[in-house]
Amino acid sequence: LPCMFSLPGRAEYSKSYAQQHESLLDVLAHAGLEVTWLDNQSGCKGVCEGVTTKAVSPEEYASLCQDGRCLDEALVQALSTQLSSTPADQVVVLHQLGNHGPSYYQRYPTAYEHFVPACENADLAKCTREAITNSYDNAILYTDNVLDQVIDTLEREHDYATAMVYLSDHGESLGEKGLYLHGIPYAIAPNEQTHVPMIWWLSTSFSQQQRLDTECLHRRANQAASHDNLFHSVLGLLGVVTDVYQQEADISQACRFAK
C-alpha cells in the first residue's frame, strides 16, 4: 500500500524512503487540497499520517456491520457525509475491505451470493476451488455495486467537478499453481497477484475543467499501466503544479487539450 502512494515507484521503493519522504497525500495537502482517508481496513500503514483519517465505526453504521466488521457500503455513506460537511476542494481516499481473503464470504451481503456453491469457511482447505472462486466472484460483484454507488454519490454533487480513480493494491491467488491469497514477493509472484484493475470515472464538468479528451482516455485505457502511474496521474488530473510531477508517468497527459 505505501508503495502505491510513493514517488519512486515499485523498482526504487523502500520502506525507509517512504518513512522519510512525502507521499502523494502529503503533496496534495501542500497544494491546498483537503485530504481525508476513510478506512474500512486495518489501517493505512503510515500512508495517511498527517492527513485527516476516519475509520468506519460499527456503532455508526450498525445496519452494515456485524461482529466488528463492516461492509464497504459504509464507506459510501461516509463519503456522502464527508462531501456534505466539507465544502472545499478535496481528495477522499476510500480504503476498502474489498475482497481480502480468506473469508471472502464475509465481504458481501447475502443478496450478492450469485455464484454458488460459495465457500463459507475461513479455512480454504475445507472448500473446493470452485466454491472458493465463487465466493471471491461474489465479493467482486459486491465491489462493483459499491463503485456504482460511489459514482452515483459523486454525480449528485452538482456544485463540484468530481472524479473517481479506483485501483487495487494487489490481486489474489485462488488455487492456481497451488497458491492462495497474496503477498508473494513481486519478482516471483504469479500474474493473479500482480495484474489488478484500474478504473476511472470523470464527470463531464471535471473533464471540461481539466481539458481532458475522453475519447483519447478511452483509447489509453487499452494500454498497459501500473501503480507507478498513480502518483503522477492524480497530480495531473488535479492540475497540481510541483517539481516532483513526472509528465511521462501521467496517464492523462497525452489526452489533454491545449489551453
CA–CA separation, 142 and 78 (whole Å): 17
Mean pLDDT to the nearest integer, 36-58: 94
C-alpha cell at 111: 443478496
Q: What is the pLDDT of residue 258?
A: 86
CB 207: neighbour CB atoms within 10 A? Answer: 19
Q: Which pLDDT score, from 0 to 100, does residue 16 have? A: 87
Residue 118: per-residue pLDDT: 98
Query: Which residue would you say has higher pLDDT here, 132 or 67?
Result: 132
Residue 11's pLDDT is 86
Read off the pLDDT band of 158 (50, 70, 90): confident
d(CA 190, CA 206) in angstroms, rounded, equals 37
Q: Given pLDDT bands bounded at 50, 70 and 90, which one contains residue 20?
A: confident
Under DSSP, the state recorded for 212 is B
C-beta pairs of 117-121 under 8 Å, 24+ apart in sequence? none
Q: What is the arithmetic mean of pLDDT over 86-103?
A: 95
What pLDDT sits at residue 49?
A: 92
Please tell me the pTM assigned to this model: 0.95
Question: From the CA atom positions of the chain, what is the Rg in Å?
Answer: 19
pLDDT of residue 52: 96
Report how far residue 127's alpha carbon sits from residue 166's, in angstroms, rounded to the nearest whole number: 30
CB atoms < 10 A from the CB of 114, how many? 12
The full set of domain ranges for the chain reads 2-97+143-255
pLDDT band at 134 (very low <50, low <70, confident <90, very high): very high
* pLDDT value at residue 80: 96
CA 32 from chain centre, in angstroms, equals 22
Q: What is the pLDDT of residue 133?
A: 98
What CATH number does domain 2-97+143-255 carry, 3.40.640.10, 3.40.50.620, 3.30.70.100, 3.40.720.10? 3.40.720.10
